[in-house]
Amino acid sequence: MSVQPHHGPEDISSPPHPHAEEPAHQHQAEILPEADAGKTLAATVEGVDLLQIQNPNGGPTISYTLEQEKRVLRKIDLRVLPFMLAAYFLQQCDKAALGNSAVFGLQKQAHLHGTEYSWLGSILYLAQLAFQPLGAFLLVKLPLGKVIGIAIVLWAVSLFGMAGSRNFAGLATTRFLLGAFESVIAPSLIAVSQLWWRRSEQVNRMMAWNAMNGVAAILGSLIIWGLGHAQNSHLYAYQIVFLFFACLTLAYAGITILFMPDSIGTAKFLTEEEKLIAIERVRANQQGLETQQWRWDHVWEVFTDFKTLLWFLYGFSVSTSGAMATFGPLIIKSFGFSAFETILVGMPVGAIQIIASLGGGWLSSKFNRKGLVLAAYGMTPIVGALIILKVPRTVEHRGVLLFAYYFLSINTGITPLLWAWQAQNTGGNTKRKCSTAIVFLSTCAGNIVGPQLYFSEDAPLYRRGLYSCLGFFCLVTLLSLLIPVYLKYLNNKHAATRQRLGKNAKVVDLSMIGKAKVQQQLGQVDDDKGAQHVTEDKGLADITDLKNEDFIYVY
């Protein structure tokens, strides 16, 4: 039995959609059970000339086994994912350096007054907000690997500038530049995830590089704890911290520029045959391949797609509470800890972030219900915020308060799941980049507003900031339950369109089932009155999700 049956004459004669874009090439595949030793998967590979790949056998067809496909996936995981992990780790270390430096007296040493420290937290996201549109354009027009590498070089230079700053003006200017150059990192990593992995595989990979936020909280805190002991008559502790991370970041940037692949077609670690297999793997995503063509019709659809508003509201709500990253160390210190104790007891937050990110990815993949997982993640910080607000800030209660803060930190698993959710539900190259940019615009806006809700006169309790955090998490929980309803509505619309075109309304989304379940799932479908799989004819075409009736939304 084949995983992807060949379409018969009745499929060929189905009436075409009057408004659908026809791909330049047809693409067919037949996947055979892994147990059938010696049998192969035949794939027609016309159209891969988009990536300038030439069939090594000189013909349009290449055959490969499921074991070969696994080997290609292992290569991708070992050669692409580490670059993503390291880039996000360094970004989180560099961003967190400000908050951790504050416990060593940054405000006093840099002569900060009033809301100036709050603005240092906001200005980075103000820069990211301003540069997101440019970032989206660059990600379409330029090679992904080079964009990431050059951005890392530039933000390393900004860190050198922060190390040399001794007042608000200098810190604000260099932190703005840091935000501008970092603005493309997370969107580019999402684009890389969409390029190399199936939709069912994207979540765990995205959760993995997002978990570097937690690793940075642990290792970064240890590094900063050690650097905080460094005494130098010419440099303050915060300057030593910034200087160290600037050197580390710059060294890694060179490695990225030299060795990170830009696309499947230019990947030197894959043979020509393996490149074809890599393309066939992601065809079922129905999201199209990477192109360097900017599509204004895709841009227009982003702004007329109701999902865009939902993603924006969600990103803004969860990120407004992200001010905890800036004020978290100060809140922990208010529980009765010294500066060095604050750094050490804050380290478990990193472990919680790792567990929350990877656990959220695992749960959403196992149950295939991201909305429910996100709703649970939204309710958990509500409990933590209520405890911190109601329990007195005394040394006797600092154990309970610290536990509540750890509980509140589970919120770090929400943002990466949102990114993965949005990425899985968007088709079309330009639309994917623009939709991702909109989500990051919303998170930037939330991170700008968030620190402004923590007033210096409220220190060290910051009650108004915590109450705002509580309210936004209630909104996050509500949106987590409402968005799946709308996505299910869109799936029903696509099903009706398929039926109107003479196709079967019921399909199996091959991009969202693991290899172990492929045969079982498709065996059930084959007996279900001819229900079909997501068709492959548009899988490599640059068509948006709303215009591709074969696109299946994940809720």
The secondary structure of 243-267, three-state, reads HHHHHHHHHHHHHHHHHCCCCCCCC
The predicted-structure confidence for 80-118, as pLDDT tens digits, reads as follows 999 999 999 998 887 777 777 776 777 788 888 877 877
Give alpha helix (H) positions in 425-514.
429-452, 463-500
Give the residue among 378, 373, 351, 379 at the shortest CA–CA distance from 361.
Answer: 373
Q: What is the pLDDT of residue 545?
A: 84
Give 297-340 as a DSSP string: HHHHHHHH-HHHHHHHHHHHHHHHGGGHHHHHHHHHHTTT--HH
Q: If DSSP codes are grouped into helix, strand and coil, which group holds residue 57?
A: coil
Residue 480, number of CB atoms within 10 A of its CB: 25
- Percent of the chain at pLDDT > 90 equals 18
Query: 469 is written with which tokens?
Result: 């955090």
Contact 354, 450 (CB under 8 A): no
Domain ranges of the chain: 9-64+489-533, 73-488
Determine the Cα–Cα distance for residues 276 and 45; give it in Å rounded to an integer.
7
Q: Is the pLDDT of residue 137 over 80?
A: yes
> CA 70, 74, 75: angle at the middle one, nearest 5?
120
Burial class of residue 374 (count of CB atoms within 10 Å of its CB; 0-12, 13-18, 19+): buried
- Say how far residue 143 (Cα) sits from the centre of its chain: 19
Most confident of 72-81, 435-444, 521-530: 72-81
Give the residue among 368, 261, 388 at the shortest CA–CA distance from 328.
Answer: 388
Q: Is the pLDDT of residue 34 over 50?
A: no
Determine the Cα–Cα distance for residues 55 and 61; give it in Å rounded to an integer.
8
Q: Which long-range contacts (CB under 8 A, 24 or more apart) does 328-331 make?
A: 328/99, 328/405, 329/99, 329/100, 329/102, 329/103, 330/99, 330/102, 330/103, 330/459, 330/460, 330/462, 331/388, 331/405, 331/460, 331/462
Q: What is the pLDDT of residue 211?
A: 87
Q: For residue 330, what pLDDT band results from cuts at 50, 70 and 90? A: confident
**Residue carrying structure tokens 């710059």:** 250
Query: 405 is written with which tokens?
Result: 């803060």
The predicted-structure confidence for 112-136, as pLDDT tens digits, reads as follows 887 787 788 778 888 888 888 888 8
Determine the Cα–Cα distance for residues 160 and 166; give it in Å rounded to an integer.
12
Q: What is the pLDDT of residue 43?
A: 36
Q: What is the pLDDT of residue 312?
A: 94
Q: Is the pLDDT of residue 44 over 50?
A: no
Q: Is the pLDDT of residue 4 over 60?
A: no
Contact 461, 394 (CB under 8 A): no
Q: If DSSP codes are grouped into helix, strand and coil, which group holds residue 232?
A: coil
- Say how far residue 390 (Cα) sits from the centre of its chain: 34
Q: For residue 311, what pLDDT band results from cuts at 50, 70 and 90? A: very high
- The number of C-alpha atoms within 13 Å of 452 and in the hemisphere containing its C-beta is 10
Determine the Cα–Cα distance for residues 514 and 505; give it in Å rounded to an integer.
22
**Residue carrying structure tokens 């639309």:** 431
What average pLDDT score do residues 192-198 get? Answer: 88
CA torsion angle for 510, 513, 516, 519 (degrees, to 10)?
A: -40
Q: For residue 21, what pLDDT band results from cuts at 50, 70 and 90? A: very low
Residue type, 3: V
What average pLDDT score do residues 324-342 get? Answer: 77
Give residues with Cβ within 8 angstroms of 420, minimum separation 6.
Answer: 193, 202, 203, 206, 207, 361, 364, 370
Topology adopted by domain 73-488 = Growth Hormone; Chain: A; (1.20.1250)
β-pair type (507-508, 532-533): parallel
Lowest-confidence segment of 229-243, 290-304, 389-403 by average pLDDT? 229-243
User: What is residue 50's DSSP assignment?
Assistant: G
Residue 65, number of CB atoms within 10 A of its CB: 18
Lowest-confidence segment of 57-71, 138-152, 219-233, 269-283 by average pLDDT? 57-71
Determine the Cα–Cα distance for residues 454 and 456; give it in Å rounded to an integer.
7
Contact 90, 248 (CB under 8 A): yes
Query: 27 is written with which tokens?
Result: 């693409």
Determine the Cα–Cα distance for residues 290 and 541; give it in Å rounded to an integer.
10
Which neighbouring-strand residues pair with 530?
none
Strand order across the beta sheet in which 41-44 lies: 29-30, 41-44, 61-64
| Residue 506 Ramachandran class (φ > 0 left, ψ -120 to 50 alpha, else beta) | beta
Distance spanning both ends of the chain, measured CA to CA: 30
Q: Is the dihedral of CA 246, 247, 251, 254 positive or negative?
A: positive
Q: What is the pLDDT of residue 369?
A: 86
Q: What is the pLDDT of residue 249?
A: 92
Give residues with Cβ within 8 angstroms of 238, minimum separation 6.
Answer: 97, 101, 104, 106, 109, 110
Query: 180 is written with which tokens?
Result: 């501008």
Q: What is the pLDDT of residue 510?
A: 63
Q: What is the pLDDT of residue 287?
A: 53
Give the residue among 301, 274, 291 at the shortest CA–CA distance from 191.
Answer: 291
Q: What is the pLDDT of residue 548?
A: 84
Query: 278 is written with which tokens?
Result: 């890599």
The predicted-structure confidence for 247-264, as pLDDT tens digits, reads as follows 999 999 999 999 999 888
